[in-house]
Structure 1
Amino acid sequence: MVIGKLCSNDYDFKGKGRATPKAASAVSSSQPQVFAVPLGPVRTPIPIVAKATSPDRALAKATSPGCATAEATNTTKAKTTSPPPAAASLCESSASTSTSGSSSSSTTLYTDSTMSSAGETVKLPKLSDADKASIVLLYDSLDKGKMWKLSTGTFVEEKMRECALGKDHEHLAHSLILNVKDNDWYNYFSPEEMDEIASYFPVDFPPVAELDTYLNKLESLSSEELYEKLVSEKLPLASNDKWIQDSFYQCLRLLKSGFLPLVNGQSEGGLGKRMWSCIDPCFDFCQIDCKSGEKCSRSSADAMNAGRTNLQSRQATGRKMDYLFQYSGKTEVGCGECGLAGGVNSTKELYDAYFKLPKVMKDMMINLLSLSPSLKRDLVISGFYIGQSKLTLQVLDCPAGYVARYDAFNPVMYPDTESQLHRKMSAVLKVIFAGRVIMEETARKLDQDQSRVSLGRQHDENILPCFVPVKTCNNNNNNNNNNNKKRKR
């Protein structure tokens, strides 16, 4: 098993800690175990009964005002965060035993039955006895002196263990990933503890003021005036203003042609090529390369092959992503997923944004940290999730202990009416640009890393790889063997 390496520096977009207010009342610990994520304003989600596909694969120096590790102590003021709104649940363990407690509106996807969203079938693997044994060994191997200790004395990893061992299907806790937007964690942490976890050196939305000058020039224009300005004004090809101009022009064209609002019949690829064509050119003149179209993540493949020792077993391929963002041509620093399913808490969104994306993003983090052993608390991996006309920027970092923290900024919507063109398109472009800024900052830190390369046999085991179910490894080998037989024929 490959053990990645972490590092410890201040991260530009991790703001000062925040002073925690009293969060909303805690959810009783006796509530059924669910994987819950809030997406936008509080709404009542539509129940979905379904079944979910696929699987895959962090530590300690700093301590928050009440977040302590055995190695060092950092103090920070805390910012105010509020408890998450109503959320959806990706997978509910059939092993959950508690049924009482305060209720919250959520969408639960049961993995015992076939799940379908937008015509797609997804599976979350059910854990075998061997899988459960390996999860116990994983948590048993953690050094309590290096765990993330909160101001209440609670060790985050111990609560994650409690959650992980109570699940019958794969969960992010098996990969030591904590999604702070998952309401299920209120069954294990108090609202104050959850606020401390979320506000400890958080990844802040980076400044994008350089876009404002040109956006302000477009603000008060009518559709006709906007069109005339977009087609008549010549801007430097490599400028951000030119990217804004082209993005507004394409959006206006889609609105005028009747492509928007979206109707049935669009393909996932078509959605990316036309509606979300503004993503690729944002990265044209920077050190980050955007690769769109389904491509296998190298980091994900490395994670799946980490335990491969038998020459007779086939090399596994990584998870396919709709967007891969690379630095220096091969180093992955971000990813993205695009889906046709819209609305709140769709099956596609729950699986892609809150299961598949965080695992691939952690695989990327592990790869980066294995190359730069000096960066322990500094790097951030960003990812985009597109759900039809909704765009969300996701971030993953390793703030303390063995934990990889997964969080998301507020979603933004692509314009579907001309009256909302400037308001919504400005927000969309700022979110895309913010993702680019985070990736560029990660690349800059990798470039400037002057730490000594560790020699010998010692590993930094402060970040552990994502969990890979035994069944997945066997399936990969069987699929590859079948492909070989076909080729021989």
Structure 2
Amino acid sequence: MRYKIFGIIFDFGCSTKGPHRLSGENRQEIDTVYKSMNKDFMWKLESGRYVEEVLYKIGLNLTYEHNVHSFIIDAEDETIKKHFDERELEEISDASGPLVPNLSDDVIEYLKKFLNKKSIKEIRQTINEKDDRFDVDYDKEVYHDLDYIPLVREIENAHLDCENLEQWYNCHIWNAIFDQSFGNMKEISVVRGESCSTANVTRKNSTRVLNTKRWIIRTNNEGNKIEFGYGEVGKTWVDKSGTKFLREVSLKSLKALKDMLIDLMRTCKWNPDAQSKLQTVGVVHSGLAMMVIRMDNPKGYVCRVNRSNIMEVPHSEENFSDILEILAAVLNLKMFSRDIVNRIHNRVNTKSRKQLK
């Protein structure tokens, strides 16, 4: 029963103008699900409060749909901050979850070579240094990530200082940064701009339509498409110095990540040990800025959101080192994707071996 309740995500519709206004029927659905929860399985904080109870009470006072109605908690959300104290927020953020894979020593050492490089000349000299890994010893499966790192052509592009349409950034920057990173992984696809999200099929008959501002990461398992990554163009605002920041992660993104997480858990037959190691990942970007978000289920019926720092593709060669953090984050995301794929396929292989006995 716990997993049946945990797996519910409300889908009250959407509006291009903002969140959906909750109706009496919507509130009744939320109330029914909350009352079906077993308190023994809820996430109890050291303060004695239950996260699910707090989220439910927050939702009662909101006119429009919010992530709390799907029992998704984001410790950096302003609404959440008003209802949990600092100690509780810290406990929520620090609760153990899936490990984030580390980059290989080779990748770390290669990234370090570009630190403090201030000119295209210095960057090119570093790239052109003799390295048999890129020559006679080159193996795409082994050295692809090293080969992916030099994105000099993007830094040299004179249009980075201009105000460009978001589609320009998608084509010239983000497509290159994300899609190329997965170039040696045939088992993973980055899919953009189509009616493609299959993770929510079990809760609604229609498919979620992704426009050109959204993309997903998926793999194929016994003919079934399994999704575990989601990307979108986020909203921005401009501060007094003219610097762009990502303002919010959309409810659509968070619900998509929960959809995917539940689907992964279902694929693993709700195995407690397996699900404790599962997470989904999202990337929100706007202009040259990006942020990585991760979702897991640390305890109870709650899905938790963790955000990275905001990173930015540098406008000039003098700040080339700034892109290293982005490249490291994307390669880390790739390692996470490989880990998820291995877990899924190992489960399938184990199941197949048992059937043959």
Q: Normalising by the residue count of structure 1, what TM-score does the alignment of the two structures yield? A: 0.60
CA contact (8 A) 1:149 1:156 kept: yes
Q: CA deviation at 1:443?
A: 2.0
Q: What is the Cα deviation at residue 410 of structure 1?
A: 1.0
Task: Provide closer, same or farther for how the CA distance between residues 342 and 295 of structure 1 changes in structure 2, counting only shifts above 3 A.
Answer: farther
Superposed CA offset, 1:69-92 (max 9, x none): xxxxxxxxxxxxxxxxxxxxxxxx
Q: CA deviation at 1:303?
A: 5.1
Residues 295 and 153 (structure 1 numbering): CA distance in 2 closer, same or farther, change over 3 Å? same
Tell me the percent identity: 20
Please state if 1:243 is matched with 2:139. Answer: no
For 1:268 and 1:301, locate their aligned partners in 2 and report how far apart those are by CA, in whole Å. 27
Following superposition, the deviation at residue 425 of structure 1 comes to 1.2
> Which residue of structure 1 aligns with residue 161 of structure 2?
261
Instruction: Give the 3 Å change call, closer, same or farther, for CA 145–401 of structure 1 in structure 2.
Output: same
The Cα shift of 1:191 comes to 1.5
Inter-partner Cα distance in structure 2 for 1:417 and 1:267: 19
SS for the counterpart of 2:201 is: helix
Distance 1:434 1:349 in 2: 21
Q: Secondary structure at the match of 1:173?
A: helix
CA contact (8 A) 1:333 1:381 kept: yes
**Cα deviation digits, residues 360-385 of structure 1 (max 9, x gap):** 00000111111112123220101111
Deviations 1:110-167 (A, max 9, x none): x9xx9xxxxxx53211011111111111111111111111122211111111011111
Query: Which letter does structure 2 place at the counterpart of 1:447?
Result: H
Please tell me whether residue 396 in structure 1 is matched to residue 295 in structure 2: yes
Aligned pairs for 1:266-345 (under 5 A) are: 266-276=164-174, 277-286=176-185, 289-302=188-201, 304-305=203-204, 315-320=205-210, 322-328=214-220, 330-339=225-234, 341=236, 343=238
TM-align CA RMSD:
3.1
Match of 1:20 in 2: none
Q: Tell me if 1:356 matches 2:252.
A: yes
More off after superposition, 438-447 vs 362-371: 438-447
- CA–CA distance in 2 between the matches of 1:393 and 1:128? 33
Q: Which runs of 5+ in 1 are unaligned?
A: 7-54, 58-110, 115-120, 306-314, 454-489
> For 2:339, which of 426, 441, 453 is the aligned residue?
441
Aligned to 1:226: 123
Partner of 1:370: 266
1:244 CA displacement: 0.7
Aligned runs of 1:203-218 on 2, under 5 Å?
A: 205-208=100-103, 209-218=105-114
Shift of residue 223, structure 1, vs aligned partner? 1.8
- Structure number with the higher helix fraction is 2
**Partner Cα separation in structure 2 for residue 281 and residue 380 of structure 1:** 23
The answer to whether the 8 Å contact 2:195/2:209 transfers is yes
Whole-Å separation in 1 of the counterparts to 2:93 and 2:111: 32
Asked if structure 2 preserves the Cα contact closer than 8 Å seen for 1:338 and 1:385, the reply is yes
How many residues are aligned here? 324
Secondary structure of the residue that 2:160 maps to in structure 1? coil
Q: Which structure exhibits the higher relative contact order, with contacts defined as CA atoms closer than 8 Å and separated by 6 or more residues?
A: 1
Is the 2:166–2:286 contact (alpha carbons within 8 Å) kept by the matching residues of 1? no
Map 1:81-96 → 2, pairs under 5 A? none
2:292 maps to 1:414: no
Contact 2:229/2:281 (8 A) holds in 1: yes
> For residues 76 and 87 of structure 2, what CA distance do their matches in structure 1 show?
14
CA distance in 1, matches of 2:323, 2:26: 45
Q: 1:262 to 1:210 in 2, by over 3 A?
A: farther
Q: 2:78 aligns with which of 183, 207, 210?
A: 183
Distance 1:442-1:4 versus aligned 2 partners, 3 A rule: farther
What runs of 5+ residues in structure 2 fail to find an aligned partner? 353-357
Deviation of 1:332 after TM superposition, in Å, equals: 0.6
Following the alignment from structure 1 to structure 2, what is the Cα–Cα distance between the partners of residues 380 and 5? 19
- Contact 2:145/2:331 (CA < 8 Å) preserved in 1? no
User: What is the CA–CA distance in structure 1 between the aligned matches of 2:99 and 2:78, rounded to whole Å?
Assistant: 21
Query: Could you tell me how far apart the structure 2 residues matched to 1:341 and 1:149 are?
Result: 35
SS state at 2:253 partner: helix
CA distance in 1 between counterparts of 2:96 and 2:79 reads 22
TM-score (structure 2 length as normaliser): 0.81
**In 1, Cα distance between equivalents of 2:29 and 2:64:** 14
User: Separation in 1 of the partners of 2:38 and 2:139?
Assistant: 53
Correspondence list, 1:12-51, <5 A = none
Change (3 A) 1:194 1:251: same
Equivalence for 1:44:
none
Partner of 1:90: none
Task: Give secondary structure in 1 for the equivalent of 2:230.
Answer: strand
1:411-433 CA-partner distances (Å, limit 9, x unpaired): 21101121101x21111101111
For residues 178-214 of structure 1, what are the alpha-carbon distances to aligned partners after superposition, in whole Å with 9 as ceiling and x for unaligned?
1121132233222211111111104565322432222
Displacement of 1:287? 5.5
For residue 64 of structure 1, what is the aligned residue in structure 2? Answer: none
> For residues 342 and 327 of structure 1, do their structure 2 counterparts lie closer, same or farther at Cα, with a shift above 3 Å needed?
farther
Contact kept? 2:233, 2:284, Cα under 8 Å: yes
Q: Please state how far the C-alpha of 1:319 moved relative to its aligned partner.
A: 4.2
SS in 2 for 1:320: coil
Q: Distance in 1 between matches of 2:254 and 2:159?
A: 32
- Secondary structure in 2 aligned to 1:167? coil
